[in-house]
Structure 1
Amino acid sequence: MAMNAPRGTQDILPGTSEKWQYIEEVLRDLSRRFHYKEIRTPIFEHTELFQRGVGDSTDIVQKEMYTFEDRGGRSITLRPEGTASVVRSFVQNKLHGLANQPTKLFYFGPMFRYERPQQGRYRQFVQFGIEALGSEDPAVDAEVLSFALKSYQDLGLKSLKLVLNSLGDQESREAHRQALVDHFSPHKEELCEDCQLRLEQNPLRILDCKKDKDHPAMGTAPSILEYLNEYSKTYFDKVKHYLDAMDIDYVIDPNLVRGLDYYNHTAFEIMSEAEGFGAITTLSGGGRYNGLVEDIGGPATPGIGFALSIERLLMALEAEGVELPVENQLDCYVVVMGEKAEVEAVKLVDKLRSEGLQVDKDYLHKKVKAQFKAADRLKAKKVIVLGDREIEEGIGNVKDMASGEQKEISLEDISAELKDTKGE
């Protein structure tokens, strides 16, 4: 019986993995420019972290988590998202006590959700995300929004739309919650089972329902923007003012709620408007989560962040026809003729690699013609031919694969020659 990867997972093979590496390098550089430092958290956590952090009423907790009991009888969950883990680490390691605040962190890593696999959505997927903890300044919200957009723009994407909303503070949310209960209660029996439960637990989740999205009551549901108190209105106005100052375009969507319970105040999504991208246009999302640190056992600490899926980012690049400038050329390929030259070839390859060059050779004892074909397939810039004569004379026959020019160079000088031509 053939063994295949589990449904909803994928192998990232050579030829594609280089694109992932390039994307990671771009995002790491962006993090450096925005002064975010990397954090690495465990792939699995105690289940209670996500129940308390993400929210019991969310689809993620109710339907999508990979949860199991370990040998000690503890309930463990493969992380479905990154924020709860980062906040847990922030609290556990007392990062709130650092002199420089806010604490600005970024992460890469696999996440796990048991959902129906489809194009660009997997049960194991990789997220890049940032979190800024310790400041309630609307300018930090604007910084995170700018970072999120630049994550795509720096990779060449142009067909982007930033969708923005405010979920308000606790007082505003309570007023809106009651308005939603009053609005949807007469239609309770017409809603799906999940939304009937949400009406009691968290009616805001109804606005995010995929099954009932076309129900007439959805179009007339009260907007959170109608229930923002003065503080929440002022906060949202400042966020928009900063975005305007940075010439960042955005669209206000009062029904944008996001899929996690911890959001308040600023909430946003970035969508692809590229033709042929697919029915689900959301690329990434995030928002402010004041109160989450306290929920996980830490001191009162405001926070905001966002996360993007690398898989969906790659889909967007393909939809817009963006070719990443991935380097896939060898600096040099060594062609060997004869047993005596084999030992010298191994020595030379190792020496060149030690000096920072990307070098390979034949390990299948192919004939010379086949070795040249292999060098061509590997896009080698140079080929060094080593035979018995070359070894006796202490030289290598160096061929430029682009021009066809050949010259004999002392084995001692080959490294300098390759480095010179590499820098041209």
Structure 2
Amino acid sequence: MSKSLQAIRGMNDILPEQTPLWRYFESKVSRLLDNYGYKQIRMPIVEFTELFKRSIGEVTDIVEKEMYTFEDRNGDSLTLRPEGTAACVRAVLEHGITGGGQVQKLWYIGPMFRHERPQKGRYRQFNQIGVEVFNLDGPDIDAELIVLTWRLWGELGIRDAVKLELNSLGTSEARARYRAALVEYLSSRLSELDEDSQRRLKSNPLRVLDTKNADTQAVLVDAPKLVDYLDEESRVHFEGLKARLDAAGIPYTINPKLVRGLDYYSKTVFEWVTDKLGSQGTVCAGGRYDGLVEQMGGKPTSGVGFAMGIERLILMLETLEQIPEEIARQVDVYLCAFGEAAELAALALSERVRDQLPNLRLQINAGAGSFKSQFKKADKSGALYALILGEDELAQQVVGVKPLRGQGEQQTIAWDALAEHLATCVVQG
């Protein structure tokens, strides 16, 4: 017997009962970003592999171990995008939309791909919403990105479940000085480091700072501190950011070990973290990458952005039971029609109601059926009300309106008054 077809491990279907919550979340974010003046950009999910080697860094875990890379029929090395910033930078460079110092405030949404060990909240195909801003170099735009995410958490009802962690990585020159001091310190204690940290010491030593190994963390207690190597420009920038967050009333914690996993970050880095999702605690993260555009062949251009993991935030909404009732309910009204003449009238009547109430979720029964079977479908749909249209109602040009989710008697409403009646009772329901 042939093996049954199934999805690739770590690449999941989002089923019909799940998509309403996804659409709710996505609409919340897109509306918020629109209100803050951000414009959507859409990039391909496949890019030339060289793009990610040049931007993320060849010695990062992502490039070395996690990318889905393949040769196409022309022999070109292509990669399913593991993150969105590099692709966005490529796009703005290719189309020249940041030239001449033009400010661009952009956002995107879509799948990313990394070959990791799948676990709850971490998948091989995962979805992100990313925001990128170009040609604004002050701490005010860094603060705006954090403020708008803070507002989003409030709108979603999860603000009490997330905490903001901040750090500054300084300029590339300051970071190079710190890197040298850190490598010297850790090399003298090499035997005390875990195997993964020993490997990172050679390839990406700053990543040793966010190790989860307790023994290595003990070694890091007396390690050089990045804050002691910051340049004056970065200090001023960081103080400006903190002052704005204080003014906005946004609480935060300075985490000197927060370095992020990508080579292109500089100055501000931040993460929104939670303790509600087990080991996958980061739900939104980002920072400044002022040298990335130049690194990828453009003129010196400041940049800052963040990405949020949709799967993790959906999981948070479910865990914290922050799902609006109207999301769980996908149908407001279910129209039952009995007999061919009633079915024809029901089609016309339902369209008339939709014209008057475009936001009403009205489902008309399909496939005929007995009174009992149609009411069973109506109840299963989750609708608040069932509309009844049979021979008697048809003759009198009325419709029965029966509550399905609470107290109340069935009413008889004239066709011409149906939309007005539903506008009142569905809102009340």
| Alignment TM-score, normalising by the size of structure 2 | 0.90
Q: Which residue of the other structure, out of 409, 415, 418, is the alignment partner of 1:411?
A: 415
**Matching residue's letter, 1:300:** P
CA distances 1:376-405 after superposition (whole Å, capped 9, x unpaired): 222323322222333344333333444443
For 2:299, the equivalent position in structure 1 comes to 299
Greater mean alpha carbon deviation, residues 11-20 or residues 358-367: 358-367
**CA distance, structure 2, for counterparts of residue 28 and residue 218 of structure 1:** 41
Q: What amino acid is the match of 1:182? A: E
Residue of structure 1 equivalent to 2:120:
119
**Shift of the alpha carbon at 1:286?**
0.8
* Corresponding residue number in structure 1 for 2:206: 204
Residue 417 of structure 1 and its aligned partner are, at CA, apart by 3.6
Segments of 5+ residues of structure 2 without an aligned counterpart are: none
Provide the rounded CA distance (Å) in 2 between the counterparts of 1:240 and 1:415.
Answer: 53
Partner letter of residue 281 of structure 1?
Answer: G
CA deviations on 1:7-36 (whole Å, 9 max, x unpaired) are 112222233211111111211122123211
Structure 1 residues 364 and 256: CA distance shift in structure 2, 3 A: same
Which residue of structure 2 aligns with residue 284 of structure 1? Answer: 284
Provide the rounded CA distance (Å) in 1 between the counterparts of 2:175 and 2:325. 46
Output the aligned Cα RMSD. 2.4
- Match in the other structure for 2:219: 217
**CA–CA separation in structure 2 for the residues paired with 1:254 and 1:303:** 22
- Counterpart residue type for residue 283 of structure 1: V
Secondary structure of the residue aligned to 2:110 is: strand
Q: Secondary structure of 1:115's partner?
A: coil
Counterpart residue number, 2:147: 146
Q: Check conservation: 1:192, 1:212, Cα contact below 8 A.
A: no
Instruction: Name the CA shift for 1:326/1:55 in 2 (closer, same or farther; >3 Å).
Output: farther
The 2-side partners of 1:164 and 1:286 are apart by 10
**Whole-angstrom CA distance in 2 between matches of 1:212 and 1:4:** 39
Q: CA deviation at 1:288?
A: 0.5
Is residue 377 from structure 1 mapped to residue 380 from structure 2 by the alignment? yes
Residues 26-85 of structure 1: CA deviation (Å, up to 9, x unaligned): 111221232111111111111111111111121111111111111121111111111111
The number of residues matched between the two structures is 421
* DSSP-derived class of the 1:85 partner: helix
CA deviation vs aligned residue, 1:245-270 (integer Å, no higher than 9, x gap): 21221111111111111101011111
**Aligned match of 2:308:** 308
- Is residue 18–residue 326 contact of structure 1 (8 Å, CA) maintained in 2? no
Q: Which range moves more in the overlay, 3-12 or 160-169?
A: 3-12
Q: Indicate how the Cα distance of structure 1 residues 75 and 273 shifts in structure 2: closer, same or farther if over 3 A, else same.
A: same
TM-score (norm 1): 0.91
Counterpart-to-counterpart distance in 2, 1:360 and 1:35: 36
SS of corresponding position for 2:109? strand
Q: Which residue of 2 aligns with 1:335?
A: 336
On the 8 A contact 1:385/1:398 being kept in 2, the answer is yes
What residue in structure 2 maps to residue 87 of structure 1? 89
Provide the rounded CA distance (Å) in 1 between the counterparts of 2:350 and 2:74.
51
Which letter does structure 2 place at the counterpart of 1:414? L
Amino acid at match of 1:368: F
Change (3 A) 1:213 1:27: farther
SS in 1 for 2:263: coil
Query: In structure 1, what is the Cα distance between the partners aligned to 2:403 and 2:391?
Result: 21
| SS of residue matched to 1:141 | helix
1:109-188 to 2 correspondences below 5 Å: 109-157=110-158, 158-188=160-190
CA distance, structure 2, for counterparts of residue 66 and residue 150 of structure 1:
35
Counterpart Cα distance in 2 of 1:281 and 1:313: 10
1:17 aligns with 2:22: no
Contact 2:192 2:215 in 1 (8 A): no
Deviation at 1:352, TM superposition (A): 3.6
Gapped regions of structure 1 (runs ≥ 5): none
Corresponding residue SS for 1:248: coil
Counting only pairs closer than 5 Å after superposition, residues 241-256 of structure 1 correspond to structure 2 as 241-256=243-258
